[in-house]
Chains A and B, each alone.
Chain A
Amino acid sequence: MTVTSPFNVSPELERDLHRVFTPVLGAGIVLGVISIIGAIYSPGDFFRSYLMGYLFWLGLTLGSMAIVMLQYLTAGAWGIMTRRTLESASRTLPLCVLLFIPIAVGIPWIYDWAHPDLVRNEYVLRHRHIYMNPAMFIGRAILYFVVWGIFVYLLNKWSREQDEKGGLETRLAKLSAPGLLIYVFTITFAAIDWAESLENNWYSTIWGFLFVAREGLASFAFVIIVMALLSRREPFASRFKAAHLHDLGKLLLVFVMLWAYFEFSQLVVIWSGNLTDEIPWYLHRFATSWGWLGVMLIVLEFIVPFLMLLSRPLKRNAIALCCVVSLIIFMRWVDLMWIVMPTYYTRGFRLTWMNLVVPASIGCLWIAVFVWQLKQRPLLPLQAPNLEKALQHGD
């Protein structure tokens, strides 16, 4: 059931996407095999790198889903150009469900709360055991995936139906309103399960919002790169203009500031509280050589992108904007490294080849699925209100 429209993937783009798909899928499989060989020799390194990579790529999936819901909820023409790209990214969710299996297998290598002897000796872990144990952990993960799956399925299904008959925007907005709320709640619980529970005594009440901001920032950066690449071929070559890029750049600046604001709020509250059960998390990450990564985050994920994104000419230039965006995406990886790894290597910075290869193998598979999904539908929502307005923007 293919809808023909001027916005369908053009034959040249189809060829380009195919040229990306095959090598990326191959690379994903090869890197995956190398990672598994690494896992046999050093399961700890493998599973920890895997968690890091998984959180990065799952973040793109969920962040894209959330931005699509935000677009329906706020309406207007700003989201039209990017919607299909974001929808395709959200349809990688089934892959993410599949890729969760290694985390479930690797629980003992990743989390202290899965060790019965540690749980017996540590008061906090014992107290928390009824909630934080492998069975409950996996059960909750299934629940999150079911909830996210429902929203991804309905958002994509109704969006396709809208291409054919139109008039579904109210229904999509009504889905998105509770959807965004539920996303914030589920991502809070998921972030606590998967990342906050890494350190036994660590808790932060803004942790869930931080993940919302981290995922939003990463997804928005990702969508800008994809749009810049797509705009070299039809249907976007004649339709995606500097004015659209400019708008995306402005919104990226907002995401950068939102992320920095949440990150700083957490730092200043924990730092000024200086409590013995909270502060070790920051001590592990700032008082050791990991601190350099922390400083890098402040400088290269906030100060530099912030100052550069203030410039109007930069936001209207695809190559310049993509340089800033690539820096942000790289720093998202550094951030996850900084969140996950100091838990295990409290004495200082340590980088193994698996920290790079394992996230890259997940990434290649993710990108392959994304590219495959991107080809399935017209690259613009055909009957969306404001489509004309979005296309005329910048004329």
Chain B
Amino acid sequence: MNEFGTYGMVAEFDDPTALLEAAHAIKREGYRKIEAYTPYSIKDLEEIIPGRNLVPPIVLIGGLIGSATAWTMEYYIAAIDYPINVGGRPLYSWPMFIPILFELTVLFAGVSAFFGTLGLCGFPRPHFPLFNLPEFSQATSSRFFLCIEKRDPLYDSEMTASFLRGLNPTGVWEVEN
């Protein structure tokens, strides 16, 4: 099982305040590749461990692609492929394009938000290294976890473990990939 080596060092806490304090301490110590796993979102945690949120740009790009698709489609249909004179109105009747343009923008933005979020969460991904830790099943109900990943330049099995033990966790484990 050890073919991929160590994933990181995990500390478990039993309340959010302890987690916040520990996160502060880890940040001060200079670790950067850190991640928190909590049963619910904790205010202020985002400021200590800023996550890069790529959903807004994905939604924006999705929306713009939707607008462009709608406009191109409508222009092609109404003005090039099947031009019909409706009561003398111009073939390129842009006010009439707007409802469809709006709808497709919303549709593409919504769909890209859904799949973008799934993709950024790593779906489909049947296994995650922290699942190797039996205690981690509590992360969705009552326990708060912090993980320092091995790719962090400051990572050192013994140093990191003893540092984490000093933060009053309820447990510290090294997790395999």
Q: Which residue of B lies closest to A269 (CB)?
A: B95
Q: Interface 1/0s, chain A 257-270, versus B by CB < 8 A?
A: 00000001001100
Chain A residues positioned under 8 Å from B95 (CB to CB): 267-268, 271-272
Contact-residue bracket for chain A: under 10
A274 adjacent to chain B (CB < 8 Å): yes
Q: Is the CB of A272 within 8 A of B98?
A: no
Chain A residues positioned under 8 Å from B96 (CB to CB): 268, 271-272
Q: Is the CB of A268 within 8 A of B98?
A: yes
Q: Is the CB of B89 within 8 A of A274?
A: yes
B110 → A minimal CB distance (Å): 16
Q: Which residue of B lies closest to A271 (CB)?
A: B95
Contact-residue bracket for chain B: under 10
B74 → A minimal CB distance (Å): 14
Interface residues of A in 242-286 (CB under 8 A from B): 264, 267-268, 271-272, 274
Q: Which residue of B lies closest to A273 (CB)?
A: B87
Count the A-B residue pairs with Cβ separation under 8 angstroms: how many?
A: 15
Say whether chain A's binding surface is mostly helix, strand, loop, or mixed.
Answer: helix
Give A190 to B57 CA distance when docked, in angstroms: 45
Q: Interface 1/0s, chain B 94-112, versus A by CB < 8 A?
A: 0110110000000000000
Interface residues of B in 60-95 (CB under 8 A from A): 87-89, 93, 95
Q: Which residue of A lies closest to B86 (CB)?
A: A272
What are 13 inter-chain pairs, A to B, with CB distance below 8 A?
A264-B98, A268-B95, A268-B96, A268-B98, A268-B99, A271-B95, A271-B96, A272-B89, A272-B95, A272-B96, A274-B87, A274-B88, A274-B89
Give A274 to B89 CA distance when docked, in angstroms: 9
Chain B residues positioned under 8 Å from A272 (CB to CB): 89, 93, 95-96
Q: Which residue of B lies closest to A272 (CB)?
A: B96
Give A268 to B93 CA distance when docked, in angstroms: 10
Give A264 to B89 CA distance when docked, in angstroms: 18
Chain B residues positioned under 8 Å from A268 (CB to CB): 95-96, 98-99
Give A274 to B96 CA distance when docked, in angstroms: 13
B91 → A minimal CB distance (Å): 14
B22 → A minimal CB distance (Å): 24
Closest 4 pairs between A and B when the two form their complex, measured CB to CB: A271-B95, A268-B95, A274-B87, A272-B96
Give A271 to B97 CA distance when docked, in angstroms: 12
Q: Which residue of A lies closest to B99 (CB)?
A: A268
Give A283 to B5 CA distance when docked, in angstroms: 74
B158 → A minimal CB distance (Å): 42
Give A92 to B95 CA distance when docked, in angstroms: 40
B160 → A minimal CB distance (Å): 36
Chain B residues positioned under 8 Å from A264 (CB to CB): 98
Give A264 to B98 CA distance when docked, in angstroms: 9
Chain B residues positioned under 8 Å from A274 (CB to CB): 87-89
B162 → A minimal CB distance (Å): 38
Chain A residues positioned under 8 Å from B93 (CB to CB): 272
Chain A residues positioned under 8 Å from B87 (CB to CB): 274
Chain A residues positioned under 8 Å from B89 (CB to CB): 272, 274
A302 → B minimal CB distance (Å): 12
